[in-house]
Each structure stands twice: as C-alpha cells, then as structure tokens.
Amino acid sequence: MTNDKTDVWQGTLALMVLKTLEVLGPLHGYGIARRIEQTSGNLLSVNYGTLYPALLKLEQEGYIASEWGVSDNNRRAKFYRLTRAGKKRVDHAAREWEQTTAIVARFLSPGEEQP
C-alpha cells in the first residue's frame, strides 16, 4: 500500500494553521493537524516535527496564544487560539496567496485570458 499524501507545502503551513483556528476556534496541535488533513481531502500529511515548531513560531510572533486545557479524551493538552494580530495576519496572507496563485496560473495557462 502506498501513501498518496503529500507533505504540506513550504510556507503554507502557517496560513493553514491560522485559517484553521480562525474557522474552528481554539484547538490542540493534534486537532489542528487532523483538520488540515481533513480539509485537504486527506491529500496532505501534517508532520508533527514541522507543526509544533510552526506553532511555537506563530506564538512567538504574537499571531496565536496558547493555554493548557483538557482534550476530548481527557488528556492534558495545549490549546492554541488566534489573536487579534493573527486575524490580521491570516487576512493579509490569504490575499497574498490569492495574488500568488493568480500569477502562477498565468504561467500554467499561457495565452488564456486571465481575470
């Protein structure tokens, strides 16, 4: 059996984490990873060795905050939530991503009329 999942693309994990927290509210790391995989239609795989450093970096930058709580299975877990700065960052990053994908689309479909 082969694993058809792709690792999350470089530079997109932070946006996916921020957007996930924006949509669902506070979550622990495992919940964030599962939701990203679920949202991708299980085409992406979230590596915990990549996720937790990304969460730490986002917290140090002030885009998310964390606090300890109890998970659904009654285990102690660190829950992450979006801050006001994080909300602004996700809005800005989403606009940047839309612009970038529109530019790349021009190269993938040369000669076609682009909006």
Print the domain residue range for 12.
6-108
Q: Is residue 87 one of the residues assigned to a domain? A: yes
DSSP per residue, the chain: -----EEPPTTTHHHHHHHHHHHH-SEEHHHHHHHHHHHTTS-EE--HHHHHHHHHHHHHTTSEEEEEEE-TTS-EEEEEEE-HHHHHHHHHHHHHHHHHHHHHHHHHSTTS---
User: Which of 21, 19, 42, 45 has the alpha carbon at shortest distance from 31?
Assistant: 21
CATH number at residue 81: 1.10.10.10
Assess if residue 115 is contained within a domain. no
- Asked if the model's pLDDT at residue 1 lies above 60, the reply is no
- Is 66 part of any domain? yes
Residue 1 lies in a domain: no
Distance CA 96, CA 31 (A): 26
Mean pLDDT taken over the chain? 89
Q: So what's the pLDDT on residue 48? A: 87
Position 47 scores a pLDDT of 87
- Position 4 scores a pLDDT of 64
Two structure tokens written together for 45: 């795989």
Task: Please check the confidence at residue 9 and state whether its pLDDT lies above 50.
Answer: yes
pLDDT, residue 110, reads 75
pTM of the model: 0.82
Query: Is residue 76 domain-resident?
Result: yes
Distance of alpha carbon 103 from alpha carbon 41, whole angstroms: 25
What average pLDDT score do residues 46-61 get? 93
Tell me what pLDDT residue 74 has.
92
**What total number of domains does the chain contain?**
1
pLDDT per residue over 54-79, tens digit each? 999 999 999 999 999 998 889 999 99
The arithmetic mean of pLDDT across residues 10-29, rounded, is: 92
Q: In this structure, is residue 113 part of a structural domain?
A: no
In a domain, 114, yes or no: no
Q: Which residue has the higher pLDDT, 27 or 100?
A: 27
Give helix 13-24 / helix 48-60 axis angle, nearest 10°: 70
